[in-house]
Each structure stands twice: as C-alpha cells, then as structure tokens.
Amino acid sequence: MIQLKKENPLFFRNDERDFRVGWDRAITGRADLLKRNEAEALHRFGEALGKSDREGQTLLCDVIAEQLQDFRLAAREEKARFSRLAVLLPVFAGAALVILFV
C-alpha cells in the first residue's frame, strides 16, 4: 500500500496516510465539481491503482484517460448548448416585453 506524507489536512486527518483514503477524500471533498459518473470513474481508478503489473497499470491509465477525454468533450458540448440558451433567453425576454408594452 502506498503511504503519503501528511501535508494537506483536507485529504488526511488524524494521522491517516493511506493513499485510498486521501484519494476518496479528494474526490468527495469537491463533489460539486464532478458529475456522478466522473466521480465514480475516478473512484474506480483509485481502487485499481497499484493492483496489477506495469502493463496493467499502463492500460488502466489509458482507459481512464479515454474516459476523462469523453467526459471533457461532453462537458464542452453541454457548455455550448447552455451558452446559446443564455444568449437567446434575454433576447426572447426583451421581445416578450416589447410585445407586452405595445
């Protein structure tokens, strides 16, 4: 098991220096930044890390990198969709007000 130094109190408390404890706290500590499927993928990655040989670890890193890339692309698409909505909503609200006052 990987042991880490106690440097950040957000991740390690009461002399807990286990990697998985710190990993889980890092993910759940900022749950507002991650969607559920992203957090689950990172949890699975942290659990599997260190349980296989070098080739297995390389494959695991490649798989998680692909998943995170997919999450990133989906987030960009969602951002683009909502940014268009944020631009159009005030325009339609203004048009509705003009119609109401006329």
What is the pLDDT of the chain when averaged over all its residues? 82
- pLDDT confidence of residue 66: 95
Residue 85 located in a structural domain: yes
- pLDDT confidence of residue 85: 79
The larger pLDDT score, comparing residue 60 to residue 85, is at 60
- pLDDT confidence of residue 68: 93
Tally the domains of the chain.
1
Confidence of residue 69 (pLDDT cuts 50, 70, 90): very high
Strand positions, DSSP E, 11-77 = none
Residue 97's domain comprises 53-101
Residue 31 located in a structural domain: no
Residue 28 located in a structural domain: no
Long-range contacts of 84-93 (CB under 8 A, 24+ apart): none
Residue 26 located in a structural domain: no
Q: Quick one: average pLDDT of 1-22?
A: 59
- pLDDT confidence of residue 14: 54
Candidate from 14-23, 67-76, 79-88 with smallest mean pLDDT: 14-23
Residue type, 63: V
Are the C-beta atoms of 74 and 35 separated by less than 8 Å?
no
Residue 95 located in a structural domain: yes
- pLDDT confidence of residue 84: 81
Bridge partners of 18, per DSSP, are 3
Q: Is the pLDDT of residue 1 over 50?
A: no
Residue 27 located in a structural domain: no
- What is the rounded CA–CA span in Å between residue 41 and residue 47? 10
Give the residue from 64, 69, 16, 59 showing the smallest Cα distance to 43: 64
